[in-house]
Amino acid sequence: MAMMNMVKALNRALHDEMLRDPDVVVLGEDVGVDEGVFRVTEGLLKKFGVQRVLDTPLAEAAIVGMSIGMAIYGLKPVCEIQFAGFCYLDYDQLESHAARIRNRTRGRFHCQMVLRTPYGGGIRAIEHHSESREAIYAHTPGLKMVIPSGPRNARALLLSAIRDPDPVLFFEPAAIYRAFREEVPDEEETLPLGTAQVVQVGGDVTLIAYGAMMRPTVEAAAVLAAEDGVHADVIDLLSLYPMDTDTITASVKKTGRAVVVHEAPRTCGIGAEVVARLVESAFLYLEAPVRRLTGFDIPFPYFAREQAYLPNAARIARAVRETLRF
């Protein structure tokens, strides 16, 4: 066991998987000599050389398009897009090719690749560096969409993502990169994609979140327990597509009430999908409307206003209380 932050844990996963599998290669802007703007690729160039750690020219579409070509050839590329706010340039490659190459060729080719990118607010960044647009990718058939929430699950999920035979979008909450440290086991650990984790069992209400929003959600659950004697089930989705409907359904059948939290805009967001699934799977068990506590339908504000935009523990607790009073 070693204590490490998420950056170290992700770095550990990349390092270990590159050691284990020579087909794993890393590419992106500033991932080699500079070791990544957040240092997630630290030490990889020194260890594995320019044959496996590729500093590319600045071109997001070509980084992803080249990764697709590498995957078609039989490699397992892990590309980094420096911020999720720059992924729009490569979206066409994901939608038109990465997501479709297996289907289009009936399995003659497939696209085993991971796109890693930091996402989300709370880091006082300039415009385009705080977006949370995971719903776009969860809505794109053929992709998988994964978001870890802490060092330990980040390392386990990244290993699983690299080994998954299909393209995986791996969004890393920038606000969590160095926010806290956690015990990460020395031995290898993976987590199956498409499986949520129940991080806390309470029974009175179900809180569903993912990524950077897990921290204020868990904090809100603690506040509710201390101040209201309300004990929440807290679920970390981890995987947004496929999504673990069974785990959220089982909890909501028990509690009858749920609040889903994300920092992304509300309309057509992941919360909408969670609500729809619960309506389909647990309609007769619901005691209150499933509440969405989310970012707003506006572009992510410049950082002077970001704390007002982002859900926090107090607002989550308030939403839960309203749901309980319904």
Catalytic residue set: 129
- Range list of H helices, 49-128: 60-73, 91-93, 101-104
* Smallest separation (angstroms) from another protein to the CB of 306: 31
Residues 6 or more apart whose CB falls under 8 angstroms from that of 157 comprise 146, 148, 170, 190, 191, 193, 238, 239
Phi-psi region of 149 (alpha: psi -120 to 50; beta: other; left: phi over 0): alpha
Q: Is 67 in the site for another protein (CB under 8 A)?
A: yes
The interface mask with another protein, positions 14-33, x = CB under 8 A, is -----------x--------
Q: CB nearer to another protein: give 253 or 277.
A: 277
CB-based burial label for 179 (10 Å; 0-12, 13-18, 19+): middle
73 binds another protein (CB under 8 A): yes
Size of the site for another protein (CB under 8 A): 47
CB closer to another protein out of 101 and 169? 101
Residue pair 145/240 in contact (Cβ under 8 Å)? The answer is: yes
Which of the residues 124 through 153 are near another protein (CB under 8 A)?
141-142, 144
When asked if residue 325 is in the footprint of another protein (CB under 8 A), the reply is no
Q: Residue 51 has which token pair?
A: 């044959």
Residue 141 CB neighbours (<10 A): 9
195 contacts another protein (rule: CB under 8 A): no
Q: Which residues bind another protein (CB under 8 A)?
A: 25, 51-52, 54, 56-57, 59, 61-62, 64-75, 77, 92-93, 96-97, 101-110, 141-142, 144, 165-166, 194, 241-243, 245-246
